Every structure is written in structure tokens, then in C-alpha cells.
Amino acid sequence: MNRTRDTKPHIGIFGRRNNGKSTLINTLAGHEVAIVSDIPGTTTDPVKKSIEIPQLGPVVLVDTAGIDDSGELGEKRISKTKEALKQVDLALLVIAHNVFEDDEKKLIKDFQKASLPFIIIHNKSDEEYIDPNLARVLQERFNVPLLDFSAFLPDRQDELIRIIRETMPESAYTKRSLVGDLISYGDTVLLITPIDIEAPEGRMILPQVQVIRDVLDNDGICVVCKEREVDAYIRMMHPKPVLAITDSQVFPKADAAIPKDIPLTSFSILLARQKGDFENYLKGTPGISKLKHGDRILILESCTHHVSCDDIGRVKIPRWLNNFTGKDLSFDVISGLGAMTRPITDYAMVIQCGGCMITRKQLLNRLKPALDAGIPVTNYGMAIAWVHGIYQRAIAPFTGKAGDKSDYL
């Protein structure tokens, strides 16, 4: 599991080299989590630090390379810094010594283009206070919080945390319940969880854990079993589950075993509705039936993991799509939040995993290039349900529509 991704609010630290970005991170964390040096360019690629900030709670701080880096390698570092904009919920623009020039102006344009809220911090104020004229111009032009700050003036730390708390968008904290609108007090939910080669030793995978917790948070009762035990449970179940949730890769088995009067969906589809672009998934999934020979499919994994011989994203989904369409399709897989190696227009469809390891903003930004280009997008669970002919049942708990598959063509 890649521990650098997290669903907590992400705060990006941006600015020139040697403006004290890493020192600012250490000040917020209350201990040294970032390397501090007088040598320009100490921070290269964006580095994530998951910390607990007093009065703010758990967050992920993203320390980025300087926006004034130079040379061929420096340009690549700046490119990585700008990529980080897609991953953060709030930006801190760190300036110092009253320097605010084209690099800062370009960065703010990038913030505005991404609809990213930001705070301007004039750092190292123990060496030089912000010029009142510059402060006035910045506040008039950008209308965002501005703070004169120094790591050596601890009384300013509380003020910075207050401003961060007030500026952080509510969407960074709020998270839609997975099943809260589908169950009531005391309802039983059946979870079908295969234990196979991809299951971590001695643990459940994260989507399963998240759903169990969400059911409990909504005063429901979980019954958890493997797919081989479903039939035995169905024969003796009491009370009847109000909802069955399965791992997508055993959808056909679950569909056959679960009585039709019990709603059935998958962990991946629940995540698709919670943090994915569900409406565009609904529009895009039928595009599977329109794929042609030679079409290229982009599969987006949002974490890195051990790849097994029967990996769901790299092996099973490509096999199922080729078998279903009868076409010779090509597949590219990008794991984590890495950059694409091809133009998005090379692809006929994008298939996104559930995204349990990333934030909603990160996932939506991941899909945006495809949507802007008019390329259909779907989700692991919805694609799997489509190729197995049970799509209508799998989305019915959310759409209220359980018609024939032809209804969606």
C-alpha cells in the first residue's frame, strides 16, 4: 500500500526556493518533518507529510519544489509542482523579502484556473516585514488572506492556523456517507468479500473496511461472508438484508445467489457514488458496447499495490472487456497519481478504480482531461457489472431504475 496518498485535507506549500516553505511545514507540524537547508532547491519533487495540526486535525502537507527553479531539471521540478495543484484542497503561497514578481503571478493564475483557494504568507518577517504598499496591492488584487509570518515568532502560528481553518473549503472535510441514505436503524447489510490472492494477509481491503465502518456509523448491522458461504447464509438469513454489497469480481455469483427482491451493488460502485463523478459514469459506461477494434482504454489505479497474476485492473477487466466486445482492444494502466504518457485523445474510454486511497478532488481532477475531451469515463465496478449483464441491478439502489440493459444503450 502506498502510504503517500490519503483522504485527509491536503494543503500545498508553494513559492520560490529558500523562501522557508519547509520551515513553515515544520512549524505547523510542531517538529521536523521536512529537510531545511540554505542550499536552494533542497526540496525537489513534491513530498507529502501526514500530520496532526492543533485546532485543525489530521491533514496532509505537500511540500513542493521552488517555482523559480532553473535549468532542464528545474523545469521538470516546476512541472511536478504544478501537477500538485490537482491534489490539494488549499494552497499556501509563501513569499519573502517583499518579492512578488512574474513567478508568483503565474502561480496565482494557476490557482484561479483550478478554482483553488489560497493564502499568501509573507515569510521571514523577523528579517523584513511586508511592505505596506505591497500588502495593499495584494489584498486589493486577489482578495485573499495575507499574513506576515515567521517561524521564530510563535504567536503568529495560531493566527495562521485560524486562517487555514477559515479558508479551507468545506468540501475538504465533508464526505458523503456510503450507505447512510440506503439503510435505516437496525437494518442488516450483507457484505460479500472474497478472500483470494489479492486480499492482504490477515486484513480486509480498504473499501470493505470503509463500508463496514459506514454501516456501523449509520446504526446498521453487518453480516460478512465469502462468496462460497452466501448460499448457506441465504437459506437461514433472518432478518432479510436490506442491501447486499459484493466485491465486483464476483458479481455474477452474487447476482445468482442474492434474491432479486434484495438490492445488490458493489464496493466499487458505492465508492464511485461517494467520491467519483457518478453522473458521468452513468453516461459513460454504455460506451463499452460501442468500442471498436483497435480502441485504446486507459485504466486508472489510484494506489500502488502488489500486482498479482489475476489483478483486477490489469488482467481481469481487460480480459472481460475483450471477451464482451469481441474486439481487439489495447490497455494502458497508470497507478498512483502519475502523469499520463499519452495524449488523452488517444483513448476511447477511461476506467477509474474506486479511489479509496485518494480524495474526491484528486479523483475528479484525474478524470477532467477525459471529460473535457468528450471521452466516456466509467468505474471498475460499473464496467464489470456492464460486461456481466447485471448493470441495471447494480445501479438500481441509486437510480431507482432496474430495467433491461437495453434501456441504457
Residue 110, all three cell numbers: 494557476
Residue 355 and residue 15: Cα distance in Å, rounded?
A: 29
- At residue 309, what is the residue type? C
Residue 6 and residue 11: Cα distance in Å, rounded?
A: 12
Q: Which of 241, 269, 297 is the last residue of a domain?
A: 269
What is the residue range of 31's domain? 10-172
Q: Three-class SS string for 334-381?
A: ECCCCCCCCCHHHCCEEEECCCCCCCHHHHHHHHHHHHHCCCCEEEHH
Q: Which of 269, 292, 326 is the last residue of a domain?
A: 269
- The alpha-helical segments, DSSP class H, found in 172-218 are 206-217
The pLDDT assigned to 51 comes to 83
Residue 214 and residue 179: Cα distance in Å, rounded?
A: 7
Domain membership flag for residue 210: yes
Residue 147, all three cell numbers: 499574513
The pLDDT assigned to 359 comes to 80
The pLDDT assigned to 283 comes to 97
Residue 248 and residue 308: Cα distance in Å, rounded?
A: 17
Q: Three-class SS string for 277-313?
A: CHHHHHHHHHHHHHCCCCCEEEEECCCCCCCCCCCHH
The pLDDT assigned to 6 comes to 46
The pLDDT assigned to 32 comes to 61
Domain membership flag for residue 112: yes
Q: Which of 172, 207, 238 is the last residue of a domain?
A: 172
Helix (H) or strand (E) holding 74: helix 71-83
Query: Over 60: is that where the pLDDT of 164 sits?
Result: yes
The pLDDT assigned to 408 comes to 35
Q: How confident is the model at residue 304 (pLDDT cuts 50, 70, 90)?
A: low
Query: Over 70: is that where the pLDDT of 299 sits?
Result: yes
Interval 99-157: pLDDT, tens? 999 999 999 999 998 889 999 999 999 899 999 999 999 999 999 999 999 988 767 88
Query: Over 70: is that where the pLDDT of 41 sits?
Result: no
Q: Are residues 72 and 32 in the same domain?
A: yes
Residue 94, all three cell numbers: 509563501
Interval 362-400: pLDDT, tens? 888 889 999 999 999 999 999 999 999 999 999 999 997
Q: Angle at Cα 290 formed by Cα 284 and Cα 294, nearest 5°? A: 110
Domain membership flag for residue 182: no
Interval 174-215: pLDDT, tens? 678 899 999 999 999 999 998 865 666 777 888 999 999 999
What share of the chain has pLDDT > 90, as a percent? 58
Q: Are residues 139 and 257 in the same domain?
A: no
Residue 243 and residue 182: Cα distance in Å, rounded?
A: 8
Q: Are residues 237 and 363 in the same domain?
A: no
Q: What are phi and psi of 211, to 5 degrees?
A: -70, -40
Query: Over 70: is that where the pLDDT of 348 sits?
Result: yes
- The Cα-based distances of 247 to 127, 191, 267 in angstroms read 58, 8, 6
3-class SS of residue 92: strand
Q: Are residues 198 and 159 in the same domain?
A: no
Number of domains in the chain: 3
Give the mean pLDDT of 42-53.
70
Single pTM value for the model = 0.69
Helix (H) or strand (E) holding 317: helix 317-325
Residue 253: give its domain's CATH number.
Answer: 3.40.50.11420
Are 313 and 301 a contacting pair, CB within 8 Å? yes
Q: Are residues 359 and 299 in the same domain?
A: yes
- The Cα-based distances of 255 to 11, 242, 259, 361 in angstroms read 42, 15, 8, 32
Residue 167, all three cell numbers: 479558508
- The alpha-helical segments, DSSP class H, found in 154-294 are 155-167, 206-217, 230-236, 251-257, 267-275, 278-284
Helix (H) or strand (E) holding 72: helix 71-83
Q: How confident is the model at residue 7 (pLDDT cuts 50, 70, 90)?
A: low
Query: Over 70: is that where the pLDDT of 286 sits?
Result: yes
Query: Over 70: is that where the pLDDT of 311 sits?
Result: yes
How many Cβ atoms from other residues are within 10 Å of residue 266's Cβ?
A: 28
